[in-house]
Amino acid sequence: MLQLDVTIDTKSGFCFGVEYAIEMAEDILKEEGKLYCLGDIVHNDMEVKRLQKMGLKIIELENLKEMKGVKVLIRAHGEPPSTYELAMKNDITLIDASCPVVLKLQNRIKKSHDKKEKIYIYGKHGHPEVKGLIGQTGKDAIVFQNIKELDFDKLPNSLTLYTQTTKSKEKFYEVVSTLNKAGIEVNSHDTLCRQVSNRDTQLQEFSLNYDKIVFVSGTKSSNGNVLYNVCKSHNDKSHFISSSTEIKEDWFTKNDSVGVCGATSTPMWLMEEVKEKLLQY
């Protein structure tokens, strides 16, 4: 027996936006036994499977176009105005679980667009939240996930910069600094979710307190990738897993202290399952 000393980070787990969306879905599923959701309700396959067993049906935008008179959940990531227009046209009842932080950001971007500002969004291409943000601009905004994607010779002298709520705070301010050094006037809006960015600092401290770190997250989670890299940069013995089946016993030595933590899309029940597996070694 390795006799590992395992501690779960109590500050890890669902952010309030994801928790709110899942509670709404669970309430409807318990009452009606069926609910459609536009895209994965959360970027964690294990949690999605749990809700699918309760009756959640994941659909995509193409499916929505063919549906009429049904009830559909909008997840925490939010949606562009075109989705709401389609729902009205097809007599679809939307259960809107968009995160308040995302809704506020959408509103700010729309106001900037109405003022004819040149909008740039630091975010992940194709991410559902980013799609909702671009939708506020009639798809006029420029999205980039790496500063190297931008052709500085073609950039305007001044621009308005927003960020996807779950990006790295450090990387966002690096982007602002690089643009400023290039002589570009940046009207920057730090629209990062503080519940996510504060975990950055908290996980730096957490990862230093243990011999090994097991970070639990879905592979689709942008926030998961950011926070795992925070752990890895402060404790090089950090391991990324999506489920307890991916744990390897040879990562650990006898009496290791192990910290288990996760993304804002990682359910606490999954981290507890990981802890139970580690205690079996």
For residue 94, give the nearest of 129, 128, 70 by alpha carbon: 70
| 26 secondary structure, DSSP code | H
Query: What is the rounded distance in angstroms from the CA atom of residue 172 to the CA atom of residue 176?
Result: 6
The per-residue DSSP string of 64-100 comes to HHH--S-EEEE-TT---HHHHHHHHHTTPEEEE---H
Full DSSP string of 150-161: S-GGGS-SEEEE
Report how far apart, in Å, the C-alpha atoms of 243 and of each of 16, 41, 187, 269, 277 are.
Answer: 22, 18, 41, 11, 10
Q: Is residue 272 annotated as a catalytic residue, yes or no? A: no
Closest-CA residue to 12 (of 236, 279, 268)? 268
Q: Among all chains, which residue has been given the structure tokens 């592979």?
A: 219
Quote the tokens at residue 224.
Answer: 């998961």
Of the candidates 117, 129, 185, 276, the residue annotated as catalytic is: 129
Q: Which residues are marked as active site?
A: 129
